Amino acid sequence: AQSVAQPEDQVNVAEGNPLTVKCTYSVSGNPYLFWYVQYPNRGLQFLLKYITGDNLVKGSYGFEAEFNKSQTSFHLKKPSALVSDSALYFCAVRDIRLTGGGNKLTFGTGTQLKVEL
Amino acid sequence: DVKVTQSSRYLVKRTGEKVFLECVQDMDHENMFWYRQDPGLGLRLIYFSYDVKMKEKGDIPEGYSVSREKKERFSLILESASTNQTSMYLCASSLRPGGNLGYTFGSGTRLTVV
């Protein structure tokens, strides 16, 4: 079975400060890991993914995430937050050993990021 | 630009009605998914399909059915709508096998059952 935990329902940060949105995962094998962002009343948009290779992954809008295998974590980060980054963020995982139809991702419950002036 | 299109952004239906939510993708993706999103519960998988006329139950299929007659179209059907099916419904698609490519999502349909 595969699972994802986002321990924080909400993260508040001041504009210009660094931000971190936490994600931990559980898979039997090695993971594919994803971050998505959702703006109000919209679908989810892809931010970045970790498949293999460098543990630091860079994505859209200045976001990056660090894969830590020993801690089974994939935290989302940004050096300097913007008010426009305020949104709902989802982490997702897939065990690369899973075969068959669907390629199902398992999503976390989401973290609401609020960036204030 | 590749797209997943959900036919309605907002929908209001009455209890007991049969409701159809439509999703179309133009990326020739084999896999298609229906999720519902509720505050504090994240995304929960209702049904998915990995080929035409194929379907599999997700985590919460009760009260729903699906249809995939053509590769590009995946329909979610609420056989008899109930108020506890008021939710945001998200459609997504992906390549198969493509497990490392993630999903492309539609903009969502916010369904209210009164």
Task: Report domain extents, chain A.
Answer: 3-116
- Write the CATH number for B104: 2.60.40.10
Most confident option among A53-57, B3-7, B63-67, B94-98: B63-67
Residue-level pLDDT at B5: 95
Q: What's the rounded mean pLDDT across residues B97-106?
A: 77
CA A13 from centroid of its chain's CA atoms: 17
Which residue, among A105, A106, A109, A112, would best test binding to B if mutated, counting the most B CBs under 10 Å from its CB? A105
pLDDT for residue A34 is more than 70? yes
Q: Supply the pLDDT for residue B1.
A: 63
Q: What are phi and psi of A18, to 5 degrees?
A: -70, 150
Tell me the one-letter amino acid at A54. Answer: D
**Contact by Cβ (8 Å): B5, B21:** no
Total tally of structural domains belonging to chain B: 1
SS3 (DSSP) at A84: helix
Closest by Cβ to B99, choosing from A44, A103, A107? A103
Does B9 sit within 8 Å of A41, measured CB to CB? yes
Q: What is the CATH number of domain A3-116?
A: 2.60.40.10
Which range of residues forms the domain containing residue B108?
Answer: 4-113
Q: How many CB atoms lie within 10 A of CB B90?
A: 25
Residues of chain A with Cβ-Cβ distance to B50 below 8 Å are 100-102
Q: Which distant-in-sequence residues (6+ apart) come within 8 Å of A96 by Cβ? A: A29, A30, A31, A32, B99, B100
Tokens of A62: 């200045």
DSSP class of residue A79 equals: S
Q: Do B90 and A44 touch (CB under 8 A)?
A: yes
At A9 the three-state DSSP class reads coil
**Taking all residues of chain A, what is their mean pLDDT, rounded to a whole number?**
91
